[in-house]
Amino acid sequence: MVSRVIPVDPFDLVIFGATGDLARRKILPGLYRRFVAGQIPETSRIIGSARTEMDDPGFRAFVAEAIAEFIDAKKRDAESITRFLDHLRYVAVDAKGDNGWPELAALIRTDVVQAYYFSVAPSLFGDLAERLHRHGIATPEARIVVEKPFGRDLETAKALNATLAAHFAESQIYRIDHYLGKETVQNLMAVRFANILFEPLWNARHVDHVQITVSETVGVGGRGAYYDKSGAMRDMVQNHLMQLLCLIAMEAPYRFDPDAVRDEKLKVIHALQPVVPEDIVRGQYRAGTRNGGGSYAEDVDHRDSRTESYIALKVDIANWRWKGTPFYLRTGKKLRARASEIAVVFKEVPHSIFGDEEGWRENVLAIRLQPNEGMTLSVMIKEPGPGGMRLTEVPLDMSFAEALGEDGADIPDAYERLIMDVIRGNQTLFMRGDEVEAAWAWTDPIIAAWEARGDRPKGYDPGSSGPEDALMLLHRDGRRWREMRE
């Protein structure tokens, strides 16, 4: 199977925060990969920007190092790197001052697509938007890309939306949730809406429950100060897990169009019920030998921290399709495996003609986001051999890397895909302002309630699958979590 690369229109893409971690690890190497794939037109330019003073050759050397560090040696070569570097420019600007802005204004062309990637701290988003406007740089068609976190609660998200809206129309604002750029996540929509097979079963009559797991093996790393003010609910559930839940739960949009898709996702968020305390388990990792030794409190340097590095929740969606089918979400750090998976667990057959054999008999559609992106449908078959009818579960397994051959191994990274969507002007995989606000409106009271109760997260061992209580969350409903494995 050959994946088609559809070139985009010529563009000027300004990356604010070009010297930062995200630009170095993801954005710039990702653009190189798109260049090698032939997707970047000859006349396009990528303009790096930050306060650090640098000239074009200095920035090119910085990007060449990033490519060497983050692109596999087999996938880069000196000739294409040189040609890619030709597309790069650099202008030093200060988001909080007027340094550099006239130079940037002089550089930007108005007859190509203009995109501005705000890869800086969210506290600078407003300053950048305002200065792009004040210096007459951004055209009415220009696009801005903003990174997460988008606010820390409803109030701050509303304020951020209002700040951006003062200078840009909603159709110009691309709020990144890189989970939405993953191949499997888009495939989820293809599986649901391009096949007749699943839709008749995709409801509370046939689906017993859904599990969404995003587990990491790493701790908070160098992000301790930020993370301790945020926690797993704000950092992961409000955005990534909720987006995945929406894609599983939403109705079919009338067409694959940005607002049609986002309208349907928004309806799901509105239908989410408040979560009662018994349906929430928060955890904090203890000290341990795996993955570095410090406890959460040591890692964030806050002895009495009550922030969760793990959360599991049982979520109900109050609509006709899903009433009675719980969605169990869990995410955390320093867990057993680095794995992201959505599992749609179907109900057992209404009556077994094979007697009352022990064992689980459910079909499960598991969608793996990482590692080894792909899907597995488990089906029951007869255990081979004589000796009567014994059932066993086997997977119909599809890994993208295998199914798509060489192209599967070369699937664009989420950031690559999303940046190309920005240039194309396609907002389908980006969050709309009202979606983000609705997500916070659901999240805020849950957080406020545990803060008011003074709840302390339960301890869990590094390398485990989370606190014991999280197991109980499903056990008491007669269910079990799927194994966390890479």
Ligand X SMILES: NC(=O)c1ccc[n+]([C@@H]2O[C@H](COP(=O)([O-])OP(=O)(O)OC[C@H]3O[C@@H](n4cnc5c(N)ncnc54)[C@H](OP(=O)(O)O)[C@@H]3O)[C@@H](O)[C@H]2O)c1
Q: Which residues within the stretch 65-104 sit at the binding site for ligand X (CB under 6 A)?
A: 93-96
Could you tell me which residues come within 8 angstroms of residue 460 by beta carbon, excluding any fewer than 6 positions away?
283, 284, 285, 286, 310, 332, 466, 467, 468
Q: Which residues within the stretch 385-444 sit at the binding site for ligand X (CB under 6 A)?
A: none
Residue 178 is a catalytic residue: no
Question: Cα separation of 224 and 204, whole Å?
Answer: 40
Question: Cα separation of 312 and 480, whole Å?
Answer: 13
Instruction: Give the nearer residue to ligand X in terms of CB position, either 99 or 399.
Output: 99
Q: How far is the CB of 476 from ligand X (least distance, A)?
A: 35
Q: How far is the CB of 415 from ligand X (least distance, A)?
A: 10
Instruction: Give the nearer residue to ligand X in terms of CB position, either 27 or 474.
Output: 27
Position 119 contacts ligand X (CB under 6 A): yes
Q: Which stretch binds ligand X (CB under 6 A): 17-25, 156-164, 288-296, 424-432?
A: 17-25
Q: How far is the CB of 164 from ligand X (least distance, A)?
A: 14
Comparing every residue's Cβ against ligand X, the nearest one is: 20
Q: How far is the CB of 157 from ligand X (least distance, A)?
A: 14
Triad 72, 373, 308: Cα angle to 5°? 95
Q: Which stretch binds ligand X (CB under 6 A): 48-56, 184-192, 262-270, 376-384?
A: 48-56
List Cα–Cα distances, 417 to 119, 234, 247, in angstroms: 16, 25, 18
Position 22 contacts ligand X (CB under 6 A): yes
Q: How far is the CB of 63 from ligand X (least distance, A)?
A: 13
Active-site residue, selected from the candidate residues 240, 270, 351, 475: 240
Q: Which of 17, 126, 224, 412 binds ligand X (CB under 6 A)?
A: 17
Q: Which residues within the stretch 141-160 sit at the binding site for ligand X (CB under 6 A)?
A: 147-149
Position 483 contacts ligand X (CB under 6 A): no
How many amino acids of this chain bind ligand X (CB under 6 A)? 23
Position 338 contacts ligand X (CB under 6 A): no
| Both structure tokens of 291 | 């993955």
Position 229 contacts ligand X (CB under 6 A): no
Q: How far is the CB of 163 from ligand X (least distance, A)?
A: 15
Instruction: Give the nearer residue to ligand X in terms of CB position, either 131 or 265.
Output: 131
Q: Which of 66, 91, 120, 419 binds ligand X (CB under 6 A)?
A: 120
Instruction: Give the nearer residue to ligand X in terms of CB position, either 10 or 20.
Output: 20
Position 122 contacts ligand X (CB under 6 A): yes
x-or-dash string of contact with ligand X, 186-205, rule CB under 6 A: --------------------
x-or-dash string of contact with ligand X, 316-335, rule CB under 6 A: --------------------
Instruction: Give the nearer residue to ligand X in terms of CB position, either 116 or 202.
Output: 116
Instruction: Give the nearer residue to ligand X in terms of CB position, either 146 or 269.
Output: 146
List Cα–Cα distances, 145 to 128, 150, 175, 484, in angstroms: 11, 12, 6, 33
Q: What is the chain's Cα-based Rg?
A: 24
Q: How far is the CB of 222 from ligand X (least distance, A)?
A: 9
Instruction: Give the nearer residue to ligand X in terms of CB position, either 29 or 467.
Output: 29
Instruction: Give the nearer residue to ligand X in terms of CB position, either 149 or 459.
Output: 149
Q: Which of 41, 51, 133, 404 binds ligand X (CB under 6 A)?
A: 51
Q: Which stretch binds ligand X (CB under 6 A): 30-38, 81-89, 120-128, 343-351?
A: 120-128
Instruction: Give the nearer residue to ligand X in terms of CB position, either 16 or 430.
Output: 16
Which residues sit at the interface with ligand X, rule CB under 6 A? 16-23, 50-52, 93-96, 119-122, 124, 147-149
- Which of the residues are catalytic? 240
